[in-house]
Amino acid sequence: MQVFLSILRKEFIQIFRDKRMLAIIILVPVVQMMVLVYAANMEVKNVDVVVVDNDLSQSSRSLANRFSGSPFFTLTGTTFNEKEAEALLKDDAADLILSIPAGFEEKLIREGNASLQLIFNAINGSAAEISAGYAQNVLLDYNAGIISETLAIERNESPGGINTVVRYWYNELLDYKHFMAPGILVILVTIIGMFLSGMNLVKEKEIGTTEQLNVTPIRKHQLIAAKLIPFWVIALFDLAFGLLIAKFLFKLPIEGSLLVLFTYAAIYLVGVLAAGLLISTFAETQQQVLFIGYFIIMIFILMGGIFTPVESMPRWAQIIDIFNPVCYFMQVIRMVLLKGSGFGDIIPQIIFSVIFGILMMAFSILKYRKRA
Amino acid sequence: MNRFWGFIRKEFYHIFRDARTLIIILGIPVSQLLLFGYVVNTEVKDVKLAVYDQSKDDVTTRIINKLTSSGYFELVKNLDSDNDIEAIFKKGKIKEVLVFEPDFAEKLEREGSADIQLLADATDPNVARMVAMYTQNIINSFLKQEQPLATVPMQVNASIKMYYNEQLRSVFLFVPGLMALIMMLVSALMSSISITREKELGTMEVLLVSPLKPIHIIIGKVIPYLLIAFVDSLLIILMGNLVFNMPVNGSLLLLMGECFLFIFLSLSLGILISTVAPTQLIAMFMSMIGLMLPTLLLSGFVFPIESMPEVLQWFSAIMPARWFNEIVKNIMLKGVGFMYVWKQTFILLAMSVFIVFVSVRKFKIRLM
Amino acid sequence: MMGNGKVIEVKNLVKKFGNFVANDHLTFDVHRGEIFGFLGANGAGKTTAMRILCGLSKPTSGEITVNGFDVYRQSEAIKRTIGYMSQKFSLYEDMTVAENMRFYAGIYKLPRSKRLKKEAELRDKLHMPEIMNKLVGSLPLGWKQKLAFSIALIHDPGIVFLDEPTGGVDPITRRQFWKLIYEASANGITVFVTTHYMDEAEYCDRVTIMVDGRIEALDTPAQLMQTYGASSMNDVFLTLARKAKKAVG
């Protein structure tokens, strides 16, 4: 115990002696929350619409007005020339062409139905899809509007007769920041834990003190435990700090129990820290730790469902994700914060993280050699 | 001149001797393209659905069948009570719950209307939005199919065309950004580290007192990275085409020219960093935080620039990768010519001139 | 601890790295309290042998005991009874002298009273009490080496291993350092030291000269100079090195 406490004290002294370290601990969460969460926004809004109105009728104008009246679309121009509109699309000056053919109103009145064309810039496929959905809704509204005008039927009761009432649970306003902020917190905690612990051991290797430690009777597990605990504390502190910023900046809801979240995070971090340590046993320089770490973290995070659902990934990726610790924490933090899930709901994730932690610990203790 | 070529040969030798470097140079573009192409996928499919059907009649059964046979939904659970809804959402797997009111078919027949409540798990807002949209569309088409007579007296139909990416493949959005990211990694990050390393190890002084001119030393050090970055960008275009069917609709020659310009710009950024950074670690942090991260986040690579707060949009405007992204998208997907990308090209050119100017000045000051 | 006065016994120590033989059948004993020098050019295998004795590296074959403990099975027991100071300076530069001391005292489980006594001793020895609260990184190299040596002795080890302890400092500082070594030796501590400064060899009780992984000579400095008809240890070394080269050529 005395040995363990001595190492622990030494680690804390060294970490806090370096003022840059303090800056990293405090500034990284602030910057990540302020820049990343705002930048990482997949919300689609302000879709620029250009109208090609070759009909110039009452109906075509009121249809165009429906679009400009929607908070989702912005009418940027009107033209008669299809070519001109396409040039705007090519030039990124418009995202959507609403093309109303000549004779639109006449056909609508005479035949009871008429067609128009919606042309999307679909380079961002998912944005185009969402915009298309909104455009369809505008048209549905418009159709219902004509019907109510002509037949004086209650607007909301479409003649089909089935009313679908949509309710968005856990994020009623569909605020994308409430989705991203917990994900960014996972990245924060993972990066802090993995890099700091990995770099720390390699640094001792680089300056030669590892050798000095290896000729002392320190036991491996004492050394590793004492090396990891400070970063474990720092990462948990940063989680709390980041959570506070998120709560303050964008009113991130905390539906569930913080005890559940932090208990899980504490378990999760053991595995992450040990993984950092494991990397450091493979590397000779801090630079190599950075490169290996960057490569691994990039894969973990992209596959972990930070901004795309794991369910949409191909089967093989989902199988790999069974072994991806980030994926589990990503689920847990959103479940606990946004839905209020409790211990009972996250049992599978806890089991995995316990196994992962034990395995990583075992590997890194085995791999760490006191003698060659 | 001979001496200069010898120096370049030495640099190549340095780079390729270390297997780890080679893995980074070739492995990162390939693995990241595969990740972005296959894994980072915003399409929604196989949505786990639960149903609380209080009616269990012929109509509700057919609606559920229509949903599950659409390919978008997978019925996972039938609930028996209101209270189960909350619990099942909290477990995390189910993304949507449909609640049919009691006597659904009867009401529809007798009163002409019946209610479905659609509850979506909106922790991921985009997914929730799409899931709700799909469900509504499927229910609407069910209605049309069931009650052809009840068609609306007047109806506007839209024919939808998706330009430049008919199948809405996410990877088309990512390829340009990925090219920018990889070129930054190779040209700016790696070259700045390699120059700083010579400074740190003291070998830079040795080179500077040699008969080689300083400008030759710098050019000699960056030429290998220029070639590697160029090869990497070709690799991405080729893989994008062969694996993901991403077309090159515009002129390939123009595309290469633009890549070359962007690589040149990244290399000058790398040189600028190396004149400022005292150690490899600092060079690495400067490139990572100053170049790589903005390229990833603020260039429109993954996240649309229009959705960002205004301050970040300004930041985005000074990121070279943002303009490069636009150029590549325009050439590859829209198939446009130089007339449509001259503005962006001019911006990149101006940035390059400025950076070269600054780093030459910095370098001279250091020599004195 | 041991009846015969031998604290290190080495018989036919072999260490191979792949095909390269770093230590080729070394055999020697070290007696309690003596200053035992290990000489040789860079790459002669000195450090490899010392690392094996400290339990940092496993031998390929041979019988080796240190303080009566076997290096194969009891390396952790060895570590409790030895001190070590390497050529690469190895105190923590970003901690103060007192903090470094406290750290190593903790690792060797020194009781608090003993640690305070050691601190007081060091303060007296250095004649500079304020140094205790200085960052190690801010001290000159000579001071750092003296501190590293004192801290290597903090747990009163039976043997202290010094791997090129005086690399990179001026002759005056080197002489001061050797004064510390004599003091330790006078207190009954066995000193095992590697060096490539031949003048330092003359300060040792007995000297081993290694060439290309083999022991070429082992005796007192005076005896060695007499045997090889040389006026200094440097000449002895040059004679042996030349002989080895001839054998190869």
Please report, for chain B, the start and end positions of each structural domain, with discontinuous segments joined by +: 2-40+169-367, 47-150
C231 falls in which pLDDT band (50, 70, 90)? confident
Percent of residues, chain A, with pLDDT higher than 70: 94
Q: Which CATH number goes with the domain that contains A51?
A: 3.40.1710.10
Instruction: Choose the mutation target among A106, A156, A168, A335 for the interface with B, i.e. most B CBs under 10 Å.
Output: A168
What is d(CA B325, CA A104) in angstroms, rounded to the nearest whole number? Answer: 39
The last residue of one of the domains, among A118, A151, A184, is: A151
Look at residues A195, A207, A171, A259 and name the one whose alpha carbon lies nearest to residue A25.
Answer: A195
Angle at A166 between CA A165 and CA A171, to 5 degrees: 150
- Predicted confidence at residue C242, as pLDDT, reads 81
Nearest CB to C79: which of A6, A14, A216? A216
C4 falls in which pLDDT band (50, 70, 90)? low
- Predicted confidence at residue C247, as pLDDT, reads 59
Range of weakest confidence among A77-86, B144-153, C114-123: B144-153
Question: Is residue A303 in some structural domain?
Answer: yes
User: What digits encode the pLDDT tens for the residues C79-89?
Assistant: 889 999 887 76
Pair (A191, A53) in one structural domain: no
Using a CB-CB distance cutoff of 8 angstroms, which residues of chain A are in contact with residue B169? 125
Bigger pLDDT: A28 vs C177:
C177
Is domain B47-150 classified as CATH 3.40.1710.10? yes
| Contacts of residue B174, Cβ cutoff 8 Å, sequence gap at least 6 | B36, B37, B40, B301, B302
A102 touches chain B (CB under 8 A): no
Q: Decide if pLDDT at C1 tops 70.
A: no
Structure tokens at B206: 């040795």
A139 touches chain B (CB under 8 A): yes
User: How confident is the model over B121-138, as a mean pLDDT?
Assistant: 86
A58 touches chain C (CB under 8 A): no
Pair (A346, A275) in one structural domain: yes
Structural domains in chain A (count): 2
What is d(CA C50, CA C99) in angstroms, rounded to the nearest whole number? Answer: 28
Interface contacts A/C by beta carbons within 8 Å: 79
The last residue of one of the domains, among A151, A185, A217, is: A151
A150 falls in which pLDDT band (50, 70, 90)? low
Q: Decide if pLDDT at A201 tops 50.
A: yes
User: How confident is the model over B314-323, as a mean pLDDT?
Assistant: 92
**Given an 8 Å threshold on Cβ–Cβ distance, is A2 in contact with C55?**
no
Chain position carrying tokens 């640690």: C115
Three-state SS sequence of chain A:
CHHHHHHHHHHHHHHHHCHHHHHHHHHHHHHHHHHHHHHCCCCCCCEEEEEEECCCCHHHHHHHHHHHHCCCEEEEEEECCHHHHHHHHHCCCCCEEEEECCCHHHHHHHHCEEEEEEEEECCCHHHHHHHHHHHHHHHHHHHHHHHHHHHCCCCCCCCCCEEEEEEEECCCCCCHHHHHHHHHHHHHHHHHHHHHHHHHHHHHHHHCHHHHHHCCCCCHHHHHHHHHHHHHHHHHHHHHHHHHHHHHHHCCCCCCCHHHHHHHHHHHHHHHHHHHHHHHHHCCCHHHHHHHHHHHHHHHHHHCCCCCCHHHCCHHHHHHHCCCHHHHHHHHHHHHHHHCCCHHHHHHHHHHHHHHHHHHHHHHHHHCCCCC
Using a CB-CB distance cutoff of 8 angstroms, which residues of chain A are in contact with residue C91? 209, 212
The last residue of one of the domains, among A103, A135, A151, is: A151
Look at residues B363, B200, B138, B171 and name the one whose alpha carbon lies nearest to residue B268.
Answer: B363
A156 falls in which pLDDT band (50, 70, 90)? very low
Instruction: Choose the mutation target among C16, C94, C107 for the interface with A, i.e. most A CBs under 10 Å.
Output: C107
Nearest CB to A211: which of C88, C106, C109? C88
Look at residues C68, C35, C30 and name the one whose alpha carbon lies nearest to residue C49.
Answer: C30
A103 touches chain B (CB under 8 A): no
Boundaries of domain holding A111? 47-151
Chains C and A touch (3+ CB pairs under 8 A): yes
Compare all CA atoms of chain B with the CA of A348 and give the residue at the minimum distance.
Answer: B91
**Given an 8 Å threshold on Cβ–Cβ distance, is C107 in contact with A216?**
yes
pTM score, whole prediction? 0.81
Q: Decide if pLDDT at C248 tops 70.
A: no
Q: Decide if pLDDT at B280 tops 80.
A: no
- Predicted confidence at residue A157, as pLDDT, reads 43
Range of weakest confidence among A207-221, B85-99, C182-196: A207-221
Interface contacts A/B by beta carbons within 8 Å: 290
- Predicted confidence at residue B153, as pLDDT, reads 56
SS3 C5: coil
**Given an 8 Å threshold on Cβ–Cβ distance, is A17 in contact with C94?**
yes
User: How confident is the model over A41-67, as a mean pLDDT?
Assistant: 86
Pair (A74, A211) in one structural domain: no
Structure tokens at A32: 């990540």
A30 touches chain B (CB under 8 A): no
CATH class of C34-44+81-248: alpha beta
Range of weakest confidence among A326-330, B165-169, B204-208, C179-183: B204-208
- Which DSSP category does B308 fall into? S
Look at residues A138, A324, A50, A304 and name the one whose alpha carbon lies nearest to residue B163.
Answer: A50
Chains B and C touch (3+ CB pairs under 8 A): no
Q: Decide if pLDDT at B254 tops 90.
A: yes
Compare all CA atoms of chain A with the CA of C102 and give the residue at the minimum distance.
Answer: A6
Compare all CA atoms of chain A with the CA of B39 and give the residue at the minimum distance.
Answer: A313
DSSP H helical ranges for chain B: 2-17, 19-22, 28-34, 58-68, 83-91, 104-111, 125-146, 170-183, 191-201, 203-209, 214-244, 252-276, 280-287, 293-297, 310-317, 320-329, 342-367
Q: Which chains touch C (3 or more CB pairs under 8 A)?
A: A
A211 falls in which pLDDT band (50, 70, 90)? confident
- Which DSSP category does B37 fall into? I
B197 falls in which pLDDT band (50, 70, 90)? confident
Angle at A162 between CA A160 and CA A163, to 5 degrees: 125
Using a CB-CB distance cutoff of 8 angstroms, which residues of chain A are in contact with residue C58? 371-372
Pair (A311, A281) in one structural domain: yes
Pair (A83, A217) in one structural domain: no
Q: Which chains touch A (3 or more CB pairs under 8 A)?
A: B, C
Q: Decide if pLDDT at A196 tops 90.
A: no
Question: Is residue A140 in some structural domain?
Answer: yes
Pair (A180, A233) in one structural domain: yes
Instruction: Choose the mutation target among C103, C149, C155 for the interface with A, i.e. most A CBs under 10 Å.
Output: C103
CA distance readout (Å), B223 to A355, C201, C224: 48, 52, 59
